[in-house]
């Protein structure tokens, strides 16, 4: 019998910005209240008053996922417009955030009290891809296999070059900003779920981590769903960008499951090397070299993208995702990453606020 497709689901975070100035506006509650009831149930309040998260149901294929993402984005964009704001799919606050307090959530207030001024960094927005796996033990072991490839995924999805109204020189300022937080980078290599739990307990006991729920590594067993959750990417500009990301992540998870079934363990790449690869990916995106963690050397970025696709090709074929993925990779190569497209939008519009308005309109078209 054919293996059933691995289930997928996505959480996308968006910024709410002033159409004139590009500054963050604290209208998340009003936007959620303006959503149609059938969509509102799939929206979440986030850490900042200028953010909203939209969540898809569990999906089995890419067309279904694309439909759910499009429906949620259009509804959220219309609700934002009704409040006088615009919904913008970018990874970091581009101009400024006048209201820095966290939303009225006891959990968020506890985090703010514990970590102090780190919490005063402006809002950042990511996308979290969930792929169904049999159990938590499997999720941990799959995460080991993802470590060498997630810098490539990050480089493909960089979408936050601007901060405080200027170009930072980094393709993902969100990644640079999040480096200040504990347990929010690449996951270590774990021998088992028990090893994972011992490490988390050590971090909590040291005081570095507030509690065991604050595990925010790039890949982790979901605390809520029977999935592995990959959370390395900036929120993408378009639905196609998000669906391409999901196809590749599902391909990597399926490939890791095949490796585990065949008794192939993941390489134990040193943590510092993985961190360096992610820093490089966040800085350069696809415009330069990336670190090949299998060979411990820099290589042209698109060569590594090609290796990634070759690695997951059997899984893409099995899920029926190969034609779409091939087409979207061609588009990505022609258009560039979200960071490159943002910079080009600013060049054409003549100012950052004007470019942000164009990006908002393009997203909901």
Contact yes or no for 161/167 (Cβ under 8 A):
yes
Who contacts 23 (Cβ-Cβ below 8 Å, separation ≥6)? Answer: 17, 95, 96, 97, 98
The confidence score (pLDDT) of residue 1 equals 40
One of 1.10.357.10, 3.30.230.70, 1.10.490.10, 3.30.590.20 is the CATH number of 8-363, namely 3.30.590.20
Is the confidence at residue 80, as pLDDT, over 50? yes
Write the pLDDT tens digit of every residue in 305-354. Answer: 999 999 999 999 999 999 999 999 999 999 999 999 999 999 999 999 99
Write the pLDDT tens digit of every residue in 254-308. Answer: 999 999 999 999 999 999 999 999 999 999 999 999 999 999 999 999 999 999 9
Write the pLDDT tens digit of every residue in 128-160. Answer: 999 999 999 999 999 999 999 999 999 999 999
Q: Domain ranges in the chain? A: 8-363
Contact yes or no for 125/246 (Cβ under 8 A):
no
Read off the pLDDT band of 204 (50, 70, 90).
very high
Averaged pLDDT for residues 19-37: 96
Angle of helix 136-146 relative to helix 239-261, nearest 10 degrees? 110
Who contacts 308 (Cβ-Cβ below 8 Å, separation ≥6)? Answer: 149, 152, 153, 248, 252
């Amino acid at each position: 019998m054919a293996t059933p497709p691995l289930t997928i689901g996505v959480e996308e975070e968006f910024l709410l910005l002033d159409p004139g100035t590009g500054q963050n506006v604290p209208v998340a509650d009003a936007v959620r209240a303006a959503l149609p009831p059938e969509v509102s149930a799939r929206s979440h309040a986030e850490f900042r008053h200028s953010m909203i998260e939209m969540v898809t149901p569990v999906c089995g294929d890419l067309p279904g996922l694309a439909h759910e993402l499009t429906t949620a984005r259009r509804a959220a964009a219309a609700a934002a417009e009704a409040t006088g704001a615009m919904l913008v799919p970018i990874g970091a606050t581009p101009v400024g955030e006048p209201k820095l307090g966290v939303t009225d959530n006891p959990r968020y207030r506890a985090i703010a009290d514990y970590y102090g001024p780190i919490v005063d960094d402006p809002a950042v927005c990511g996308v979290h891809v969930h792929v169904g796996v049999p159990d938590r033990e499997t999720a941990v072991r799959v995460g080991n296999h993802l470590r060498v490839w997630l810098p490539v995924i990050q480089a493909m999805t960089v979408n936050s070059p601007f901060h405080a109204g200027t170009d930072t020189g980094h393709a993902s300022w969100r990644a640079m900003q999040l480096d200040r937080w504990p347990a929010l980078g690449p996951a270590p290599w774990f021998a088992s779920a028990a090893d994972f739990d011992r490490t988390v307990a050590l971090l909590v006991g040291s005081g570095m981590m507030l509690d065991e729920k604050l595990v925010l590594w790039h890949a982790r067993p979901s605390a809520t769903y029977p999935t592995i959750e990959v959370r390395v990417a900036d929120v993408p500009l378009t639905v196609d960008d998000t669906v391409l990301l999901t196809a590749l992540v599902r391909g990597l998870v399926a490939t890791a499951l095949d490796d585990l079934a065949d008794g192939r363990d993941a390489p134990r790449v040193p943590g510092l090397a993985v961190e360096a690869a992610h820093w490089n990916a966040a800085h350069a995106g696809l415009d330069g070299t990336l670190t090949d963690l299998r060979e411990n050397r820099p290589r042209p970025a698109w060569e590594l993208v090609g290796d990634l696709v070759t690695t997951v090709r059997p899984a893409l074929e099995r899920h029926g995702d190969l034609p779409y993925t091939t087409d979207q990779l061609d588009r990505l190569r022609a258009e560039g990453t979200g960071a490159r497209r943002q910079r080009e939008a600013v060049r054409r519009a003549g100012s950052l606020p004007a470019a942000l308005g164009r990006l908002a309109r393009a997203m909901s078209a």
